[in-house]
A and B are shown apart, each in its own frame.
Chain A
Amino acid sequence: MGAAPGLAAEDPLLAKMAGNWIGRGTFKQSPSAEPELVYCKVSNTLVQGGAALKQSGRCAVATNSGRVSGTIESKGAGVYQGSLESLSTKGPATISGKASNNQIALNAQFIDNRTKKPGKATIQAVVGDGKYRMVSKTVDPKTNQEFVASDITFTKQN
């Protein structure tokens, strides 16, 4: 007989990221491109009794904007996984990784919206009080050079 399902415990890191946020930062399409401003407005909601965080919102660069949405779930023992759709992905990216202290390091696999080819990225989220920073690094398929694709700091809104 298996264990009876119980309520998952609230993840403290995800709980810190819940709420409405405005993000500002930079975005680059390739290693050689000039960084451009990126603005985001997202709403993060705890689901599954606090074990997962559901994100929905929108990010914009100067020329266009797109929906961002996804879910990140705590699997326990500092392990996280989920999916995330953004401006640079065609469809949702699958993400998984681990947390230590106030940081979550995730690996993402996705179809690049620009090249329509599979791509990989690492996402690092550093969570503080009333703000968190997400840095995404990816590899340029042309040069195999790793570069910072986006670096966005989110500030919590009242």
Chain B
Amino acid sequence: MRSLGFGLERVVEPIFRRPRLSAVVVLCLLALLAYGGTNISFDQNLRAVFAGGTQSYKDYSEVVKNFVDPENEILILVEGDKLSTPDIFTKLRDYQFELQFVDGVESVTSAFSLRKPPDANGDAALVVDDASGGLTPALRDQIRAHPLYGDKLVSADGTAMVFIVTPSEAQAPLSTTRVMRAEIDQATEDVLGDTGLAVTVSGFPIIRLDIVDVLIRDQIVLNLAGVVVGILMSLIVFRSFIAAVMTAVPAILAGGSVLGVIGLMGTQITIMSNVVPALIMILGYADAMHLTYAWRLHRAEGASPTEAERLAQRDVGPACMLTAVTTSLAFLSLTLSDVQLVSKFAWLGALGAVFGGMLVLALHTLLATYVGRFWKPTLSSSRNFLTSIRRPNAAIGRFAVNNANKITIVSLVLAVVLGVMYFSVPPQHSLREHLPKDNPANAALGRIDKLFGGAFPIQIVVPIGDVAPTSPEGLAKIRAVHEAVAKVDGGDRPLSLWSVAEWLGGDTDIQAASKRLTDLAEDMPPTTKSRFFGLKGTSLVTVNVHEMPTAEAQPLIDTIEAAARSAGGPDVKVTGVTVLVARESGRTINNLFWSLTLAVIAGVGAIMLAFRDWRVGVVAMLPNALPILATGGLLFVTGSGMQFTAVMSLTVAFGIAVDDTIHYLARFKTSGLALKLPDRLIETSRHIGPVLVGTTAIIIAGLATTTISRMPTIILFGELAGITLLTALIGDLLVLPALMAGVARPWFERKTARPESARRDEPVRV
């Protein structure tokens, strides 16, 4: 038979021939990867989630270049029942001044910076001209009625205020934001420390900072937790320090090597690729466990450490590499995504799966050669966790074989029901999903959204042409779009040059308002100007909406776009991060469904190719589709949307789940050749079942470490992958043998048994 592992398992051949030289080469490679690991960096750009060549992204990139960038603004939420009192309100006014002294602050917008329309002398008095009277209901109403951000700055009940801080450097590096946040915290302590007010610094720059901090923490915590859990599980499974070392060390180094590759390639760890090193380590544990299990069996039968390793590599090495290939194919299917963040994650995972798999094989061989001799088989060494569960596994196999048709029918019905649920799960994405809900900045953004009429801006770019936006003609066009958008239910009061014109009395005399607006525009600070004036004869109308599920946001945006275009013409563009997220996440998540479909086809195709038998691929389909459909069904029942992470988790979990099928089928091909099909399947379950249970337990234990992540998407990834793998184990131990013993029986039944193979299936005595 040609190799199951497409020849990749031959990576160990030079090690058997020249172990010392190979050890030096492997050590040099590890040293290089360790050097790479010192150069890793973290992606700081949340916008990159949807970076790509799509029109939506191009529109969005253009609007943030030409106009104000809401993602550049720091929002400070101040809350307290006594906020309106004269003493505290006066301190809040001082806070407005103090914030302007923070290094790197371009401007601060708050209730204290609002002005009344200029009078006949051109003087524009402050709305809050005397803070010592406190925030009276009349003043609060006056502020909230201000057309320029009024209702975005003071809450309706007067217990919350927002200060909008615009940094002078757009998209500043995290180090700058970090220093600015520290200075804001200091100013808050200095001015408002004794007021009892709750002050939270939020906004996209701060959320971005917190996400990267979580990424860095996760790299340390997740990988360390993976190491600890893997070693503990190996010790529990094998009850041997040497066996645990032979299992854990290759896996840890395989995971670490991914970090090294990231560093050497000069790429960055992102909110998605964050989990890849830990994932490759977990897969490495599974491969190393198969190898150690087989190695110990051969050692127990009297083979030398090197010979036992040679036999173990022969028995399971090809299957390990085939599993690496199918996992890699699953990752590769995600490279089809036009979202760079997903495709980078996919390339890293695809490369890591194969490279990590080969590294595990190589390191296991070296460890078996140099460390394995310290393990001596004893009578008790055969009694480990895996051997103790052989009988239950055989019983499961027997149950599957005896109830083959019933299990097949139930599985098919389940597949249909779960399939309907799976395809009914709507796409869902939010930038906030990357941080826990109790993260202060994230929670504050949620409260700002509720208290201040929506914190998620939709930016409408109105082309004005050759006339000035402040001219009567320009204003008329902006007014048409403004008023059309204002009529759409679900959006907040729009902000545009027409808001300013109205403020100046434009609703009664547009000619006079145009003149005053032209004069006023000349005196506007750059940050205020950028809220209205574009670089290329365009003007901006902004409407804020509340946070809502993608499925609700998309039709609202479509309605706003239709209204804006009917009033302003077909060239009007509706964009902004809210629009980008709603439109791109739906499309991208739907694209990822195709990646998942491709992963299924490629995985099953790889199995067919490796076994040179299309029938093997056909029976592998149902046990591997069921876990994906079951997890999709769970998302449907719990009402969760289909997030990026969910589809990616399903795709990657499918790639891993196929591994169990491969090991089962590989074992079946060589197991119990002398027996009739039902007994042969029971024997296969008895032999391979315990290892599948063990590896699944290790992988799920490894994935369980994701629960200590502070990033909800990573926790979701672990949960969904764990559920998928657990269901896959049931599929492989119950549905697969049932199919082979039932409807597919003619494909797998031999006409004559081979007596010479019977010896191989006798229980191993060690």
Interface residue ranges of A30-87 to B (CB < 8 Å): 30, 32-34, 36-37, 39, 41, 58, 60, 62-65
- Segment of B107-115, B589-597, B619-627 engaged in the interface with chain A: B107-115
Q: In the complex, A59→B63 CA distance in Å?
A: 32
A36's contact among B94, B100, B126, by CB below 8 Å, is which? B126
Asked if B100 contacts A58 (CB within 8 A), the reply is yes
Nearest CB in chain B: distance from A51 CB, A: 30
Binary flags per residue of B119-163, CB closer than 8 Å to A gives 1, else 0: 101110110110000000000000000000000000000000000
Nearest CB in chain A: distance from B682 CB, A: 81
Asked if A63 contacts B97 (CB within 8 A), the reply is no
B101 adjacent to chain A (CB < 8 Å): yes
A60's contact among B97, B115, B122, by CB below 8 Å, is which? B97
Asked if A64 contacts B125 (CB within 8 A), the reply is no
Nearest CB in chain A: distance from B521 CB, A: 14
A62's contact among B97, B101, B105, B123, by CB below 8 Å, is which? B97
Q: Interface size on B (CB < 8 Å)?
A: 22
Q: In the complex, A34→B119 CA distance in Å?
A: 12
Interface residue ranges of B418-442 to A (CB < 8 Å): none
Asked if B97 contacts A30 (CB within 8 A), the reply is no
Interface residue ranges of B67-93 to A (CB < 8 Å): 93
Nearest CB in chain B: distance from A67 CB, A: 11
Asked if B112 contacts A33 (CB within 8 A), the reply is no
Which of B94, B115, B121 has the most CB atoms of chain A within a 10 A radius of its CB?
B121
Q: In the complex, A65→B105 CA distance in Å?
A: 9
Which of A32, A34, A36, A37 has the most CB atoms of chain B within a 10 A radius of its CB?
A37
B101's contact among A32, A60, A63, by CB below 8 Å, is which? A60
A65's contact among B101, B119, B125, B128, by CB below 8 Å, is which? B101
Asked if A62 contacts B125 (CB within 8 A), the reply is no
Nearest CB in chain B: distance from A59 CB, A: 9
Asked if B123 contacts A29 (CB within 8 A), the reply is yes
B525 adjacent to chain A (CB < 8 Å): yes
B223 adjacent to chain A (CB < 8 Å): no
Asked if B525 contacts A30 (CB within 8 A), the reply is no
B523 adjacent to chain A (CB < 8 Å): yes
Nearest CB in chain B: distance from A19 CB, A: 17
Closest to B126 in A: A62
Q: Is the interface of A mostly helix, strand, loop or mixed?
A: loop
Q: Please give, as numbers and ranges, the residues of chain A lying within 8 Å of B188 by CB-CB distance.
A: none
Asked if B123 contacts A39 (CB within 8 A), the reply is no
Q: Please give, as numbers and ranges, the residues of chain A lying within 8 Å of B129 by CB-CB distance.
A: 34, 36
Asked if A62 contacts B113 (CB within 8 A), the reply is yes
Q: Please give, as numbers and ranges, the residues of chain A lying within 8 Å of B107 by CB-CB distance.
A: 64-65
Q: In the complex, A62→B143 CA distance in Å?
A: 15
Q: Please give, as numbers and ranges, the residues of chain B lying within 8 Å of A29 by CB-CB distance.
A: 123
A64's contact among B93, B119, B128, B525, by CB below 8 Å, is which? B525
Q: Please give, as numbers and ranges, the residues of chain A lying within 8 Å of B128 by CB-CB distance.
A: 62
B96 adjacent to chain A (CB < 8 Å): yes
Asked if A58 contacts B113 (CB within 8 A), the reply is no
Nearest CB in chain B: distance from A75 CB, A: 33
Asked if A65 contacts B100 (CB within 8 A), the reply is yes
Q: In the complex, A65→B527 CA distance in Å?
A: 12
A58-B101 in contact given A34-B129, A64-B107 (Cβ < 8 Å): yes
A114-B523 in contact given A34-B125, A62-B126 (Cβ < 8 Å): yes
Q: Please give, as numbers and ranges, the residues of chain B lying within 8 Å of A39 by CB-CB distance.
A: 94, 97-98, 101
Nearest CB in chain A: distance from B117 CB, A: 14
Nearest CB in chain B: distance from A134 CB, A: 18
Interface residue ranges of A20-35 to B (CB < 8 Å): 29-30, 32-34
Asked if B125 contacts A30 (CB within 8 A), the reply is no
Q: In the complex, A50→B128 CA distance in Å?
A: 43
Which of A30, A62, A65, A142 has the most CB atoms of chain B within a 10 A radius of its CB?
A62
- A-B pairs with lowest CB-CB distance, top 8: A65-B100, A33-B123, A60-B100, A39-B97, A32-B121, A63-B113, A62-B112, A60-B97
30 A–B pairs (Cβ distance < 8 Å), ordered by A: A29-B123, A30-B122, A30-B123, A32-B121, A33-B123, A33-B125, A34-B125, A34-B126, A34-B129, A36-B126, A37-B93, A39-B94, A39-B97, A39-B101, A41-B101, A58-B100, A58-B101, A62-B112, A62-B113, A62-B126, A63-B113, A63-B115, A63-B525, A64-B100, A64-B107, A64-B525, A65-B101, A65-B107, A114-B523, A142-B121
- Could you list which residues of chain A lie within 8 angstroms of chain B, going by C-beta atoms? 29-30, 32-34, 36-37, 39, 41, 58, 60, 62-65, 114, 142
Contacts A30-B121, A33-B123, A62-B126 known; 15 new A-B pairs at CB < 8 A = A30-B123, A32-B123, A34-B126, A37-B93, A39-B94, A39-B97, A39-B101, A58-B100, A60-B97, A60-B100, A62-B113, A62-B128, A63-B115, A65-B107, A142-B121
